[in-house]
């Protein structure tokens, strides 16, 4: 059972905060006592997140684009201005890209997916970790995917990008472990969300429901995960309970990758 105060007083920066997993994590972190700076490039979605929390004093929303170094430096500086330090970084913004075989995959889309999912994660590490270190340490959680461990036809850019997130996680863990910074990746399987509906639709246009049923049947737990279940793992990895967990890859997939 989770201790509801276990992130008390912690300052968290979350990217992709207006999406399904980001918003569920923002909610859980605040419920556990953290102050959260929520970053997303989607202004409208960020406004809806802000409105959903009404006058929550522990939430600040900041518009930012993880692919743009000036923007990343800007939202990190803004977070520092608002809160003084960063203890937890949920490096989570990501895009799925289109579903196409490699031979037909547009280069422009391949570059766009890598730009958000790899360059974005790198820029987050580059700008947040020194701030974290200056504050005495902290916990970074990078969002990879089961697509970072396996290959799925039609999503080569997403697969490549999520494998790269594991590489960045290990690289950052090796560099910063001795300075009080823990870096781990989470690797969710299919989560009930807009992103999965988009992938289902891409794999079988007009038959997303059938794809979902097929995917669910391939998962030993016989269902997709929920964003709140991902949030619970992130909150644990951010907490003191996870103080010796570092450089690890956390699969959360209802058993999807067991065979």
Report, in Å, the least distance between residue 247 CB and ligand NAD: 19
Asked about 105 being catalytic, the answer comes back as: no
Q: How many residues bind ligand NAD (CB under 6 A)?
A: 30
H or E element at residue 74? helix 69-83
- Return all residues near 155 (Cβ < 8 A) that are at least 6 apart: 96, 97, 99, 147, 199
Give the CB-nearest residue to ligand NAD: 19
Tokens of 252: 């959360």
Pick the piece of the chain touching ligand NAD (CB under 6 A) from 15-23, 105-113, 211-219, 234-242: 15-23
Residues numbered 170 to 229 that lie near ligand NAD (CB under 6 A) are 188, 190-191, 193-196
19 binds ligand NAD (CB under 6 A): yes
Collapsed DSSP state (helix, strand, coil) of residue 43? helix
Three-state DSSP class for residue 99: coil
Residue 87 is a binding residue for ligand NAD (CB under 6 A): no
Any contact of residue 133 with ligand NAD (CB under 6 A)? no
For tokens 């889309």, the residue is 109
- Gap between the Cα atoms of 76 and 86, Å rounded: 9
| End-to-end Cα spacing for the chain | 30
Minimum CB–partner distance for residue 108 and ligand NAD (Å) = 15
- Options 2, 45, 133, 232; binder of ligand NAD; rule CB under 6 A: 45
Q: Is 42 one of the binding residues for ligand NAD (CB under 6 A)?
A: yes
Write the interaction track for ligand NAD spanning residues 88-107; mark x where CB under 6 A is met and - where it is not: ----xxxx------------
**Residue 225: DSSP 8-state:** B
Q: Among residues 258, 248, 183, which one has the least CA distance to residue 220?
A: 258
C-alpha distances (whole Å) from 38 to each of 1, 21, 25, 29, 46 are 26, 12, 10, 11, 8
Tell me how long the chain is: 259
Segment contacting ligand NAD by CB under 6 A, of 11-19, 28-36, 54-62, 101-109: 11-19
- Applying CB under 6 A, which part among 35-43, 53-61, 105-113, 214-222 lies near ligand NAD? 35-43
Q: Which residues are catalytic?
A: 158
Site residues (CB under 6 A) for ligand NAD?
A: 15-16, 18-22, 40-42, 45, 64-67, 92-95, 116, 120, 143, 145, 188, 190-191, 193-196
């Amino acid at each position: 059972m989770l201790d509801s105060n276990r992130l008390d007083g912690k300052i968290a920066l979350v990217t992709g905060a207006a999406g399904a997993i980001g918003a569920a994590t923002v909610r859980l972190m605040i419920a556990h006592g953290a102050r959260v700076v929520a970053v997303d490039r989607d202004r409208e979605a960020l406004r809806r997140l802000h409105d959903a929390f009404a006058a929550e004093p522990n939430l600040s929303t900041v518009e930012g684009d993880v692919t743009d170094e000036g923007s990343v430096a800007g939202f990190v500086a803004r977070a520092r201005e608002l809160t003084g330090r960063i203890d937890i970084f949920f490096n989570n913004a990501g895009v799925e890209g289109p579903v196409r075989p490699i031979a037909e995959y547009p280069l422009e889309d391949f570059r766009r997916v890598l730009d958000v999912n790899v360059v974005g994660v790198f820029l987050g590490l580059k700008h947040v970790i020194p701030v974290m270190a200056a504050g005495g340490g902290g916990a970074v959680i990078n969002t990879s995917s089961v697509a970072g461990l396996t290959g799925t036809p039609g999503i080569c850019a997403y697969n490549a990008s999520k494998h790269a997130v594991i590489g960045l996680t290990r690289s950052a863990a090796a560099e910063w472990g001795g300075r009080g910074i823990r870096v781990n990746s989470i690797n969710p399987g299919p989560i009930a969300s807009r992103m999965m509906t988009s992938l289902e639709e891409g794999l079988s246009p007009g038959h997303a429901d059938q794809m979902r049923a097929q995917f669910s049947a391939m998962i030993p737990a016989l269902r997709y995960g929920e964003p709140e279940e991902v949030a619970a793992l992130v909150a644990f990895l951010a907490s003191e309970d996870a103080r010796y967990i570092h450089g690890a890859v956390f699969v959360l997939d209802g058993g999807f990758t067991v065979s």
